[in-house]
Amino acid sequence: MADNAPDEVQQWVRLEVVDHVATIRVDRPRMNALNAAIQARLGELARECARRDDIAAVVLTGGPDVFAAGADIKEMVDMSYGDMVRHSAALQAGFTAIAQIPKPVVAAVCGYALGGGCELALCADIRIAAEDATFGQPEIKLGVIPGAGGTQRLTRLVGPSRAKDIIFTGRFVSAEEALRIGLVDQLVPANEVIETATAWAAQFVGGAALALRAAKQAVDHGAEVDLATGLEIERQQFAALFATEDRTTGMRSFIEQGPGKATFHGR
Ligand code: CAA
Q: Report the separation in Å between the CA atom of 117 and the middle of ligand 1, taken as the mean of its atom positions.
A: 11
* CA–CA gap between residue 186 and residue 196 (Å, rounded): 9
Distance CA 117, CA 9 (A): 17
CA 133 to centroid of chain Cα atoms:
17
> What pTM value is reported for the model?
0.96
pLDDT in tens, 143-174: 999 999 999 999 999 999 999 999 999 999 99
Cβ pair 63, 116 in contact under 8 A: no
> What are the start-end ranges of the H helices in the chain?
7-12, 36-51, 73-76, 81-99, 116-122, 155-158, 160-169, 175-181, 193-202, 209-222, 227-240, 245-257
Would you please indicate which residues are annotated as catalytic (active-site) residues? 119, 139
**CA distance linking residue 51 with residue 117, whole number of Å:** 24
Nearest CA to ligand 1 atom 23: 31
CA distances from 109 to 24, 184, 265 (A): 12, 9, 31
Ligand 1 probe mutation, 27, 31, 38, most atoms within 8 A of CB = 31
Q: Whose CA is nearest to atom 12 of ligand 1?
A: 31
Query: How high is the pLDDT of residue 7?
Result: 87
Confidence bin at 6 (pLDDT 50/70/90): confident
Contact 136 CB / ligand 1 (< 6 Å): no
Smallest Cα–Cα separation from 121: which of 112, 211, 190, 40? 112
| Cβ of 146 less than 6 Å from ligand 1 | yes
* Residues 66-87: tens digit of each pLDDT: 999 999 999 999 999 999 999 9
What are the tens digits of pLDDT across the range 87-112?
999 999 999 999 999 999 999 999 99
Residue 136 and residue 109 in contact, taking contact as beta carbons nearer than 8 Å: no
